């Protein structure tokens, strides 16, 4: 089941956190920067990294590795406004 779009800015209180995109794509705001994460991409989210998942493809699949396993999530004030979901340029999806 995919996460709900637009659930809010947050950060994880984890020591180690990576996301490996297996299929599809997702758009995040990573500390104020619009970022496409597509199949094959791997992202390290350092401790305290502020982010917001706001759009993704219907076929999105990802593996998230976090340690320790009992980490918390903290809702935070965002550093910027989040754009409305929209189609990502076709050439970006293929890259």
- Name the residue ranges covered by the structural domains of the chain: 10-94
Provide the terminal-to-terminal Cα distance of the chain, rounded to the nearest Å. Answer: 26
Task: Classify residue 91 as exposed, middle or buried by CB count within 10 Å of its CB (0-12, 13-18, 19+).
Answer: exposed
Structural domain 10-94, CATH architecture: Sandwich (2.60)
One digit per residue, pLDDT tens: the chain, 95 residues?
A: 444 444 566 566 667 788 899 999 998 888 778 889 999 999 888 777 777 788 889 899 999 887 776 766 666 666 666 666 666 666 555 44
């Amino acid at each position: 089941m995919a996460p709900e779009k637009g659930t809010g800015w947050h950060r994880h209180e984890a020591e180690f956190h990576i996301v490996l995109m297996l299929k599809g794509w997702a758009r995040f705001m990573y500390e104020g920067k619009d970022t496409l994460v597509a199949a094959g991409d791997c992202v390290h989210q350092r401790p305290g990294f502020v982010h917001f998942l706001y759009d993704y493809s219907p076929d999105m699949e990802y593996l998230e590795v976090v340690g320790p396993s009992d980490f918390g999530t903290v809702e935070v004030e965002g550093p910027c406004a989040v754009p409305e979901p929209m189609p990502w340029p076709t050439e970006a999806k293929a890259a």
